[in-house]
């Protein structure tokens, strides 16, 4: 993975890592990916831990694009987000 420096690149990378985490944990539409699952996943897959600076923005982006919604325990995958994962589309 390249060393990301731009905040925009960091947000895009973190957004895609979150979507990969939904896939990794086999989260179904309307199910929650908990922060207890997500944070260790991000720590493992973002070697420079850039996600720590942009996680809120990445979550906001997923909400704005209707891929996920906030939940007290983590992020809830929407049907739109689930379909995007099923089609193997990358989130922009």
Per-residue pLDDT, 7: 82
Q: Mean pLDDT per 10-residue run, the chain (92 residues)?
A: 68 95 98 98 92 94 97 97 88 63
Per-residue pLDDT, 36: 98
SS3 state at 66: coil
Per-residue pLDDT, 88: 84
What is the torsion angle, in degrees rounded to the nearest 10, for the CA atoms of residue 35, residue 89, residue 63 and residue 51? 50
- 81, 66 Cβ separation under 8 angstroms: yes
Per-residue pLDDT, 90: 63
Give the whole-angstrom CA distance, residue 66 versus residue 57: 14
Per-residue pLDDT, 54: 95
Element (H, E) at 74: strand 74-77
């Amino acid at each position: 993975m390249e060393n990301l420096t731009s905040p925009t690149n960091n947000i895009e990378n973190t957004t895609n890592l979150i979507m990969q985490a939904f896939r990794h944990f086999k989260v179904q539409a309307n199910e929650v990916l908990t922060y207890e699952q997500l944070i260790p996943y991000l720590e493992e897959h973002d070697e420079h831990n850039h996600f720590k600076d942009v996680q809120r923005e990445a979550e906001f982006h997923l909400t704005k694009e209707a891929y996920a919604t906030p939940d007290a325990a983590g992020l809830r995958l929407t049907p739109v987000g689930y379909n995007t994962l099923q089609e193997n589309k990358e989130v922009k």
